[in-house]
Chains A and B, each alone.
Chain A
Amino acid sequence: AQSVTQPDIHITVSEGASLELRCNYSYGATPYLFWYVQSPGQGLQLLLKYFSGDTLVQGIKGFEAEFKRSQSSFNLRKPSVHWSDAAEYFCAVGRNSGNTPLVFGKGTRLSVIA
C-alpha cells in the first residue's frame, strides 16, 4: 500500500536556524515526490518536486529536498528559517502517469520563534 509518513507533528525552530522536515514513503513503483506548504486557511502551494535525475532538488523560498531511495526518504531542508516560513508542510507521493491522486502525509506544523 502506498503511504507517506511524516514523523514530526510539530516542530519549533528559531528564526535563522536550519530546518529539516522528515518524510518517508512506501510506494510500489518509481515515486514522484512532492512537498507542499499550507498557510492557515489557505490552499497548498507546491514547494518542490522530484521526478528523476539529480536527487537533490531545489524549490521555491530557499527550500531543498533530497531523495534517498535506500532510505525511502525525501526530507525537506532550509538553511535559515524566516518567520514567514511558519506553516503546515505536507509531503506527498504519486505516480508519474495516469490520473492517480497523490497520497499525502499527515503534515508537519512549523512554528518559528524569534
Chain B
Amino acid sequence: GAVVSQHPSWVICKSGTSVKIECRSLDFQATTMFWYRQFPKQSLMLMATSNEGSKATYEQGVEKDKFLINHASLTLSTLTVTSAHPEDSSFYICSARAGTGNIQYFGAGTRLSVL
C-alpha cells in the first residue's frame, strides 16, 4: 500500500515551453501533497505544500507564478513549470501524506532538462 506515482520520470523541453508533472496517490487519499526540488548531490528543498481544494502554500523564494500547483482531487496534484529555462533543470519529487502521523510517501521523481 501507500504507493505514489509520479509522471513523467524524465522530460526534455525547449526553453520557453511549459511542462506539467503529475503526482498521484494510487491506493490512498492524500489531502496534502508536497513538492520538492533536488539538485545533484543535495538534499530535498521544499517548494510548496499542496492541499486539496485550496491554494498551495509556497516556500520563501519559490515563484508561484512560475511553479503552478493544482491539487484538484484527493489523489492528484500537478506541478507545472511555466516558461521553463535551463536554470529550472532539476530533479522534482512529490510526496503524499497518508493518514495521520505525518508519514509521507514519495514518488520516483521527475528529471527535467531544459535546453
Contacts and interface: CB of A to CB of B under 8 A. Distances in A.
B interface majority secondary structure: strand
Contacts, number: 57
Contact of B97 (A41, A99, A104): A99
B103 A90 contact: no
Interface of B: 4, 6, 31-32, 34, 41-44, 46, 49, 51, 91, 93, 95, 97, 100-109, 111
Main secondary structure of the interface of A (DSSP, over half): loop
A95 interface: yes
A97 B43 CA distance: 23
Contact of A43 (B34, B102, B107): B107
Task: Point out which of B6, B43, B95, B108 has the most chain A C-beta atoms below 10 A from its C-beta.
Answer: B43
A34 B31 CA distance: 21
Given A46-B103, A49-B103, A101-B34, A41 B46 contact: no
Contact of A36 (B6, B31, B106): B106
B111 A41 contact: yes
Contact of A104 (B6, B43, B102): B43
Nearest to A95: B102
A113 interface: no
